[in-house]
């Protein structure tokens, strides 16, 4: 047993018997199920305990070999192509799934045209317009560069604002983020149900630097992470299109403090972060990877691996909007760090096609 697994089993044992009775659901939307509270940590862990839970690199005696230092999805295994082939021969996959999976394994993403209905895209935009106009203090809105939000007040200008986890409150967003083409593909790569962990809305191009989500969204195991970017309108050139490097999910792992997949401000410091962030594009270009721009239509979806290098392209026409909704998901068998950090935020709300949690709001009460 590794130190990490030992620590985990010790923590689980010390928590056994803790009360976990779910409160009565109070959400909107008939598709919502009662919240689930599993046998997960019930108290906030100290920084040391949390760090002890961070997954280390794979052990040499591991039965399954992954391409990088860390465990992830089966599609990150060195034998992923053979697994696809075997599952195809066994009749478990359709021809279209095989195509998509092969693309995913090689390139680190797939584009699914028309995955979300036009009505749902329009409803999300209408819900957001209404919220900005009349206010919705349940929602946390983020100004550019901010990481923690403030309640959305009436008359807030929408341009360049982002809103966290709107799926907790808006059925339109739940329908889109759990659209069958999205969760169907996630089920394939996750070998299980998806857990939606977080989402962000964008009104304009974010111009966010090129990054890999695994550096910031901490999951055990680190590679068990994917995101779905939903175009709420046709994407226009110059609007700050999403950009990404084909195949960059296979770049060598950057090891923060020589050991970790995720960046930790206190532990690793800003200098290491800058080394990582400034080095990513040169590393992708040195590897000859192609830089792509996502010019898709309303309802089309890009699903990318947590390791794919991506970001917001340059906005060259300020008059253009670039309305989108992006969700981050992990498999049901993986553990987001915020479940350990904020036990009260580890509640899962079932929804057809998966379940969701939120680090910003209480999914039991929608507050």
Ligand X SMILES: O=C(O)CCC(=O)C(=O)O
Q: Which residues bind ligand X (CB under 6 A)?
A: 200, 202, 205-206, 208, 213, 227, 242, 310-312, 324, 326
Nearer to ligand X, 53 or 168 (CB): 168
Q: How far is the CB of 193 from ligand X (least distance, A)?
A: 22
Burial of 314 (0-12, 13-18, 19+ CB in 10 A): exposed
Residue 62 burial (10 A CB sphere; 0-12, 13-18, 19+) = exposed
CB 207 within 8 A of CB 144: no
Q: Which residues have CB under 8 Å from 82's CB, separation 6+?
A: none
Residue 20 tokens, joined = 């976990």
For 51-86, give the secondary structure using H, E and C: HHCCCCCCCCCCCCCECCCCCCCHHHECCHHHHHHH
* Cβ 213 to ligand X shortest distance, Å: 5
The least CB distance from residue 202 to ligand X, in Å, is 5
Cβ proximity to ligand X, 43 vs 293, nearer residue: 293
Number of Cβ within 10 Å of residue 61's Cβ equals 6
**CB-nearer residue toward ligand X: 151 or 209:** 209
Q: What is the C-alpha to C-alpha distance for residues 102 and 109, in angstroms, rounded to an integer?
A: 10
CB of 291 to ligand X, least distance (A): 14
- Smallest gap from residue 335 Cβ to ligand X (A): 20
Nearest approach in angstroms of CB 255 to ligand X is 21
Q: Which is nearer to ligand X, 311 or 331 (CB)?
A: 311
Question: Alpha carbon of 284 to those of 32, 109, 254: distances in Å?
Answer: 42, 15, 12
Closer to ligand X by CB, 69 or 323: give it: 323
Q: Which residue is nearest to ligand X (CB)?
A: 312
Cα angle: 13, vertex 19, 20; to 5 degrees: 100
Would you say 194 or 205 has its CB closer to ligand X? 205
Question: Looking at beta carbons only, is 41 or 240 nearer to ligand X?
Answer: 240
**Closest separation in Å from C-beta 300 to ligand X:** 14
**Half-sphere exposure of 185 toward its Cβ, with a 13 Å CA cutoff?**
29
Pairwise CA distance, residues 32 & 314, whole Å: 38
Distance CA 143, CA 276 (A): 25
Give 227 or 277: the residue with its C-beta nearer to ligand X: 227
CB of 6 to ligand X, least distance (A): 33
Kindly tell me which of 8 and 182 has the beta carbon lying closer to ligand X. Answer: 182
Joined together, the tokens standing for residue 274 give 């800058």
Smallest gap from Cβ 347 to ligand X, in A, equals 23
Which one, 62 or 159, has the nearer CB to ligand X? 159
The token duo for 74 is 């089966």
User: CA-CA distance, 170 to 31, in Å (whole number)?
Assistant: 12
Quote the CA–CA distance of 14 and 155 in Å, as a whole number. Answer: 49
Q: How far apart are CB 305 and ligand X at their closest, in Å?
A: 12
């Amino acid at each position: 047993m590794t130190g990490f697994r030992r620590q985990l089993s010790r923590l689980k044992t010390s928590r056994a018997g803790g009360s976990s009775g779910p409160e009565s659901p109070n959400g909107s939307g008939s598709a919502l199920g009662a919240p689930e509270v599993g046998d997960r940590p019930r108290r906030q862990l100290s920084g040391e305990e949390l760090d002890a839970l961070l997954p280390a690199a794979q052990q040499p005696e591991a039965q399954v070999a992954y391409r990088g230092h860390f465990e992830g999805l089966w599609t990150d295994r060195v034998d992923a192509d053979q697994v696809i082939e075997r599952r195809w021969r066994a009749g478990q996959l359709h021809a279209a799934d095989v195509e998509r999976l092969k693309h995913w394994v090689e390139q680190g993403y797939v584009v699914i045209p028309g995955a979300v209905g036009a009505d749902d895209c329009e409803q999300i935009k209408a819900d957001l317009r209404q919220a900005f106009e009349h206010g919705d203090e349940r929602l946390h809105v983020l100004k550019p560069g901010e990481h923690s939000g403030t309640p959305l007040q009436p008359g807030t200008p929408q341009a360049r604002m982002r809103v966290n986890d709107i799926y907790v409150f808006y059925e339109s967003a739940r329908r889109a983020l759990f659209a069958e083409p999205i969760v169907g593909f996630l089920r394939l790569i996750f070998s299980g149900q998806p857990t939606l962990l977080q989402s962000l809305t964008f009104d304009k191009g974010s111009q966010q630097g090129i990054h890999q989500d695994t550096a910031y969204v901490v999951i055990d195991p680190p590679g068990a992470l994917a995101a779905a970017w939903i175009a709420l309108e046709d994407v226009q050139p110059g609007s700050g299109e999403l950009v990404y490097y084909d195949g960059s999910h296979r770049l060598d792992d950057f090891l923060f403090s020589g050991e970790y997949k995720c960046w930790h401000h206190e532990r690793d410091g800003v200098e290491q972060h800058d080394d990582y962030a400034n080095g990513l594009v040169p590393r992708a270009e040195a590897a000859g990877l192609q830089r792509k721009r996502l010019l898709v239509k309303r309802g089309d979806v890009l699903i990318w691996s947590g390791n794919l290098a991506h970001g917001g392209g340059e906005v060259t026409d300020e008059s253009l909007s670039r309305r989108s909704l992006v969700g981050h998901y992990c498999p049901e068998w993986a553990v987001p760090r915020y479940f350990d950090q904020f036990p009260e935020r580890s509640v899962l709300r079932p929804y057809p096609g998966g379940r969701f949690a939120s680090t910003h709001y209480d999914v039991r009460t929608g507050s």
